[in-house]
Chain A
Amino acid sequence: MSKIAKKRKRLNIISNVYAFLVYALLYIPVAVMMVFSFNDQKYNYYWNGFTTQWYTKLFTNSTLVDSLIYSLIIAVLSTLISVFIGTIGALGLKRYEFKMKKFIDNMLYIPIIVPEIVLAVALLIIFLKVGVSMGMGTILIGHCTFCIPYAIVTIKGRISGDNETLEEASMDLGANRVQTLLRVTLPNIFPGVMSAAFLSFTMSFDDVVMSNMLAGAKQSTLPVLILSMNKTGVTPDVNALATIMILIIVAAMILNNIIQGALHKRVK
Chain B
Amino acid sequence: MNNPIISLEGVEKRFGSNLVVKKMNLEIAEGEFLTLLGPSGCGKTTTLRMIAGFEEASAGVIKVEGERIEDKEPFQRNVNTVFQNYALFPHMTVFNNVAYGLTIKKVPKPEIQERVMEMLRLVQLEGFEKRKPDELSGGQKQRVAIARALVNRPKVLLLDEPLGALDLKLRKQMQIELKRLQKKLGITFIYVTHDQEEALTMSDRIAVMHDGVLEQLDVPMEIYEHPKTKFVAGFIGESNIFDGKVTDKKDNVLTVQTEAGMMQVCGADFEVGEEMHVAIRPEYMDVSKTPVEGFDLPGTVKDFIYQGTVVKTALDIKNGQEIKYSRFEQDTDIAEGNQVYVYWRPEKAVAIKKSM
Q: Is A2 interfacial (CB 8 A cutoff)?
A: yes
Q: Is B71 interfacial (CB 8 A cutoff)?
A: yes
Q: Is B56 interfacial (CB 8 A cutoff)?
A: yes
Q: Is B73 interfacial (CB 8 A cutoff)?
A: yes
Which chain B residue lies CB-closest to A2?
B70
- Map CB proximity to B onto A1-32 as digits: 1 under 8 Å, 0 otherwise: 01111000000000000000000000000000
Which chain A residue lies CB-closest to B53?
A4
| Chain A residue contacts of B73, Cβ below 8 A | 4
8 A Cβ contacts from B54-88 to A:
56, 70-73
CA distance A45 to B72 in the complex (A): 59
Shortest CB-to-CB span from B217 to chain A, Å, is 27
8 A Cβ contacts from B156-180 to A:
none
Shortest CB-to-CB span from B333 to chain A, Å, is 51
- Determine the interface band of chain A, counting residues with CB < 8 A from chain B: under 10
8 A Cβ contacts from A186-203 to B:
none
Shortest CB-to-CB span from B289 to chain A, Å, is 54
| Chain B residue contacts of A3, Cβ below 8 A | 71
Q: Is the interface of B mostly helix, strand, loop or mixed?
A: loop
| Chain A residue contacts of B71, Cβ below 8 A | 2-4
Shortest CB-to-CB span from A204 to chain B, Å, is 39
| Chain A residue contacts of B70, Cβ below 8 A | 2, 4
CA distance A2 to B68 in the complex (A): 11
CA distance A5 to B53 in the complex (A): 11
| Chain B residue contacts of A5, Cβ below 8 A | 56
Shortest CB-to-CB span from B313 to chain A, Å, is 42
8 A Cβ contacts from B187-246 to A:
none
Shortest CB-to-CB span from A6 to chain B, Å, is 10
| Chain B residue contacts of A4, Cβ below 8 A | 56, 70-73
Shortest CB-to-CB span from B213 to chain A, Å, is 25
Shortest CB-to-CB span from B61 to chain A, Å, is 11
Which chain A residue lies CB-closest to B68?
A2
| Chain B residue contacts of A2, Cβ below 8 A | 56, 70-71
Shortest CB-to-CB span from B63 to chain A, Å, is 14
Shortest CB-to-CB span from B50 to chain A, Å, is 12
| Chain A residue contacts of B72, Cβ below 8 A | 4
CA distance A2 to B61 in the complex (A): 12
CA distance A4 to B50 in the complex (A): 13
Residue from A3, A4, A5 whose CB has the most chain B CB atoms within 10 Å = A4
Which chain B residue lies CB-closest to A7?
B73
Which chain A residue lies CB-closest to B70?
A2
- Map CB proximity to B onto A161-191 as digits: 1 under 8 Å, 0 otherwise: 0000000000000000000000000000000
Shortest CB-to-CB span from B45 to chain A, Å, is 20
Which chain A residue lies CB-closest to B73?
A4
Which chain B residue lies CB-closest to A5?
B56
CA distance A3 to B56 in the complex (A): 11
Which chain B residue lies CB-closest to A1?
B56
CA distance A5 to B73 in the complex (A): 10
CA distance A3 to B72 in the complex (A): 9
Which chain B residue lies CB-closest to A8?
B56
Shortest CB-to-CB span from B290 to chain A, Å, is 57
CA distance A2 to B73 in the complex (A): 11
CA distance A234 to B56 in the complex (A): 57
CA distance A4 to B70 in the complex (A): 8
Shortest CB-to-CB span from B9 to chain A, Å, is 16
In the A-B complex, the 4 residue pairs with the smallest Cβ-Cβ separation, listed nearest first, are: A2-B70, A3-B71, A2-B71, A5-B56
6 further contact pairs, Cβ within 8 A, besides A2-B71, A4-B71: A2-B70, A3-B71, A4-B56, A4-B70, A4-B72, A5-B56
7 contacts between A and B (CB under 8 A): A2-B71, A3-B71, A4-B56, A4-B70, A4-B72, A4-B73, A5-B56
